[in-house]
Structures are given as structure tokens and as C-alpha cells.
Amino acid sequence: MTGAREKPAAGERLRDVVTPEGVPIRFAVALAGDRLGAFLIDLLVISGIVLAVVLPLAWLAGHGVMEGDLVLAIAILVIFLVRTFYFAFFELSWQGQTPGKRRHRIRAVDGRGGPLTAEAIIARNLTRELELFLPLAALFAPSALFPGAPGWAVLASLGWMLLFGFLPLFNRDRLRVGDLVAGTVVVRTPDAVLLHDLAAAPAVEPLAFSDEQLDVYGEFELQVLEGVLRGRGRAGHEDAARTVAAKVREKLAWDGPQVADGPFLDAFYAALRARLERRLLFGRRRADKHAKDR
Amino acid sequence: MSGANGGAAATRLKSAAFRAEREGAWRELEELVGRIEKGGVRALSPPELARLPELYRGTLSSLSVARAVSLDRNVLDYLESLSGRAYLAVYGTRRHLREALGEFALRRFPRAVRAHGRHLAVAVALMAVGGVTGFALTSADAERFYAFVDSAYAQGRGPASTTESLREVLYAKKEAATLLKTFSMFLFQHNARIGLLAFAVGFAGAVPTALLLFSNGLVLGAFGALYTGRGLGLDFWGWLLPHGVTELTAVALCGAAGLAIGQALLFPGREERLAGLARRGREASVVALGAVALFFVAGLIEGIFRQLVHAVPVRYAVAFGLAGILFSWLATGGKERG
């Protein structure tokens, strides 16, 4: 999506983070699908790193240059180190992002507005043992985890462990166990772009609207109109502009000079925004056309 | 008001004037933040770095003003987004890894350990109770050894083994490749995973952590009973303690961290439950991470030192020397002087 983001995407939840300066900044909580996608990418990278280290060693072992035992030992060590510290390392050096998170444009931030500390990053990543690797072990090698336990006990503990793994699906902020332990939230990296000011350019056609005409609409309609005007140059814009202009003319009972749809909407937008912003300064917001005028 | 809101009036919109006045600073901040996102803080020159907080605060105040005066959706979204990015750039982690590690080892880890004194005491007590239980039960009936110790972990040792083969394990001579293999396979990776598990399952209400600590004690006690029963008690502790001091401390620390998390979850006290969990989780994770480093040291001692040095007095001397260093480090590291 480029430019104006009129509404958060479907299913997205906003969360205010109050900065130390006391200004609340709104972040969109990352979607579960993005989290999963980022995690899968990271798993791929982890596998890639491990393979890149182990395969050459295995080749050496195959040609009798190194002992097989030694290669096995190094492989196990590498797997452990990469698995345990990959996430913490990247989140520390990339400010809450891993390669997967960067690709999906999400990042971990402190849920209470403070700086993202090293402890928080370490805490949220050490718990992956509980969330992922333990359920996987329970799933594929239950006998190693609970030697001699009866089948129902294995099943029950498996369900319990899966519950931790799927915790993000059960709360609105998509917090996993690590987020709870560390007090972090994963949000979408903000990316809005500043476009030109629609009301800054002098209108081609000076049109006069009366206050009664301008009071027909509220802020919601103003921002819908902004969305239409910013769509200039995209497919379907002409049709949308024609429909909206006709609707506005009808609603205002417009009897002024007949101008083309584009300039007419530009002028109306500038006039409506001026009117609504002036009311805003006096503390009289008008949310939409249904709002009672006070 | 006459109702003449022509095009000329639009240029005098408060929000348009506001934007025209501040837009330069926003663009400048956007450019700096973009470079930080790509190349880190080091991508900025000192004067630019000095300007960053000023531009950041200016943009935050722009956001507050814009919320009050502007109805331009795009400007609001942009400022919201730019403030968010700048906030992340200004308050993101920016410590150098080496610096952070030094600070961690010298101050933060010992402090966190001392802050968990009570949890640590409980963890040690659980392990001790497990150890005594394991020792007493196995001494009474040697066959119970198999109930406490997993066969893979025992590696063939048990009541059925001959005294000679038990002694052999304590004084085994191995080659370098085998040493490294033992080190990485069992000693470090296995133990560190158990430790991290003890920390992570604290989230399941501390009970699994307590169980892990107790059963760890059982295993230890069972081995102790096995060797003592063959008159190898002194040799066994000489074999165990050099790395055991570090390793058991690390297990107890992980357990203490898990217990602290469980406590925060079950008994939040006056704090809001999730806030308390977040605060204590961070502190506990420091302890757990330090413990992983201790496991690494223990694995090195166990895999290499123990295989090379076989004199029992030297083993004891090293064990007590290490214990002295370890405990005085944990007890005094990072204390304010004076």
C-alpha cells in the first residue's frame, strides 16, 4: 500500500504506545499470519546457517580428512548455539527485527513505551524452548520426554504444551509467552508516505460555497473525499470522481458555475476542510454527516 | 461569515500553514531515520546524531498539534508513522554487543542472582531434598537406581556394573575428538537445555520447574549411593565436583529463574499480573542467560579438564578453588563501592 492509509487492514488492531515524552503513538499490532511467515523465514535462515557450516565438514569427514565424531560434535554445538541465540542476536543488533521480521515489515517493541532493553529481547527469545521445541519434541519423540509415561499422560501434556505454542491466537494483541514474560508487543513497522497537501494549491476555479452547504458533511466524508482525490491517475478514478461529484452537487443543490468534476471536487474539499478545521479550533468536531450540529 | 470560501482562502488554512512551516524538519527526520533503519546509528555523523533528539521531539509535538488542528488524513497518518519510526530509532537498543556482554558479566548477572536469593534458596533446597531422597532410597535398595536414572544417561552404569568398570568411568583416558564430542553432546547441550527448560516451564506455574529440580537431585543422589556403596565415594565426588560446582549452581539458577516467573504468575501481589510478569521475567532471563554461560564453562571442565587430570587431591583443590571464585563473584559483583 502506498501513501494514505485510510483504514487499518481488515482484522488489524491498533495499540497506543505512550512514549517517555507522554505522546501516545499508534501502532498496528502485527497479524498472526505475518508473525508465522517471519518465523518460517527465520527457520529457513537457521537451517541455511547450520547446513553451511555442517556440509563442508561432512564433506571433509567423507574424504577422511576429519574424524566423524568430531564433525558430529561440532554440528551439535553449532545447532544449539544458532538455535538458542539467532533470534536474540538479530533483535539486539537490528532493534527488534530478525531477517524474517524485516521481510514481513514487523518488529518487536516495548509494550509500555520504554526502550527495548537487552533483557527483554533475551527473555522473549529464551522461552521459545517452551513454545516450540518442547511441543515438537512431545509430538515426535514423546518417549524421550516422558520415559515410561502412560499414553493419556503424554496426550494431556502435549495438549498443554500446544496451548502455549498457540497462545498468540487467544489474545487480541497476539502476545506469545515470550512477549508476556518480556512485556513486548510485535507491531507492523509504520510506513506511511507524506503526499502533497490537497488544499495547498490555489484552486483553478474559485467557487463560493455557503456555510449551509458546507455543513451538510462531516469529517468522515471529508476523508473519504480525500481518498478519492488522492486516487488521481489510478484506474477507476474518473468514474469515482464523476459519481461523487454528482452526489455532492445533488446534496448541496448546487446552482453555481458549472465546472468540470475534478476542479469542482478540489474546490469543495478545500472549502470543507477550511470550514471543519475552523470548527475544530473552537472545539466543535463534526464526525460525519449524521452527527447533530451543536 | 459571508460564506465566501474561495480558493484563495484555502491557502490560508491553518493546517496548510502549519504543514508548510514544519515540513522541512519532518523530511529531515525522515531521512535520518531511514538511514538508521538501514545502517544503524553509526550511519549518522556526530552533528546529525546530535540533531536527532531535537527533530524527534519536534515531530512528536507536530503530531500533537496536528491531531488538534488538521483534518488532512495523510498528514496525520504520516506524522503518526514518522513518530513511530523515530521513536523506535531513538529508543531502540543501541548497545554494542561487546560492551553489553562486559556489563552483563561484571554487574548485571551477579546483581540479578542476588535479587533472586530466596528463589535460589528454594531451588537449592528442592535439589538437596531430591538428592537426599535419591541417596537414601538407592542405598536401601540398589535396584531403585533404575527408577531414577534414565538408561541413556547412565550409559551402562548401574548396580549391575562391576566396581572396576565404575572406577574406569571416573578415570577414563580419552582422545581429543572424543573429548569434544562428549563435551558438546551431553555435557553442554544436554545440561543447558535442561536448564533453559527449567526456566521456560516456570511459565506453567513453577510446578514443572520444581519437579525438574527435584528429579535432578534424585539422579545425583542415586549415582552418589551407587558409588558410595562400592567404596568409591571419595573418588566420585572428586570426579563430580570440579564441574559439578559450576553446573549445579547453573541448574539451581535456572530453577530459581523459573520459580520467580511462576511466582509472578500465580501470586502477583499488588502488581498488575501481566506487568509483574514482564518485570520479573526480564530479571529472571538475566539469571537464565548467565546460567547458560556457566553451563558452557562446566561443560569445558567436565569434557576436558576432568579427562586429563586424575589425581584426586588436585580435583578437590580445583573444585574448591572454583567454588570460591564463583561464589565470591556472585556475592560481590556489581556492588556499589563505599
What DSSP string describes B104-127? IIIIIHHHHHHHTHHHHHHHHHHH
pLDDT score recorded for residue A8: 47
Is A111 in a helix, a strand, or coil?
coil
**Helix runs in A20-64, H state only:** 32-62
Would the pLDDT of B312 be above 60?
yes
In chain A, residues with a C-beta closer than 8 Å to the C-beta of B42 are none
pLDDT at A5: 39
Domain boundary assignment for chain B? 16-91, 98-332
Collect the ranges in chain A with pLDDT lower than 70: 1-11, 130, 134, 138, 141-150, 153, 157, 160, 200-206, 292-294
Q: Which of residues 71-110 of A touch B (CB under 8 A)?
A: 72-74, 76-77, 80, 84, 89, 91-93, 95-96, 107, 109-110
How many Cβ contacts (< 8 angstroms) between chains A and B?
266
B156, B161, B162, B167 alpha-carbon torsion, rounded to 10°: 40
Mean pLDDT of chain B, nearest integer: 81
Alpha helices in A253-293 (DSSP H): 261-281
Nearest CA of chain A to the CA of B12: how many Å?
Answer: 8
What residue of B is the nearest CA neighbor of A283? Answer: B68
Flag if A190 and B185 touch (Cβ within 8 Å). Answer: no
CB contact under 8 A, B73 and A227: yes
Indicate yes or no: CB of A219 within 8 angstroms of CB of B71: yes
| Beta carbons within 8 Å of B45's beta carbon, 6+ residues apart | none
Tell me the residues of chain A between 168 and 227 that have a Cβ less than 8 Å away from chain B: 177, 180-183, 189-195, 197-200, 202-211, 214, 219, 222-223, 226-227
Q: Which helix (H) or strand (E) covers residue A146, if one does? A: none
Using a CB-CB cut-off of 8 Å, the residues of chain B touching A109 are 88
Residue of A nearest to B60 (CA): A23
Q: Does the ipTM exceed 0.85?
A: no
Q: CB–CB of B7 and A219 under 8 A?
A: no
Q: Is A229 on the interface with B (CB under 8 A)?
A: no
B207-229 and B233-266 are packed helices; what angle lies between their axes, rounded to 10 degrees?
Answer: 170
Highest mean pLDDT of the ranges A130-139, A254-263, B119-128, B312-321 = B119-128
Assess whether pLDDT exceeds 70 at residue B249.
yes
A107 near A95, Cβ under 8 Å? yes
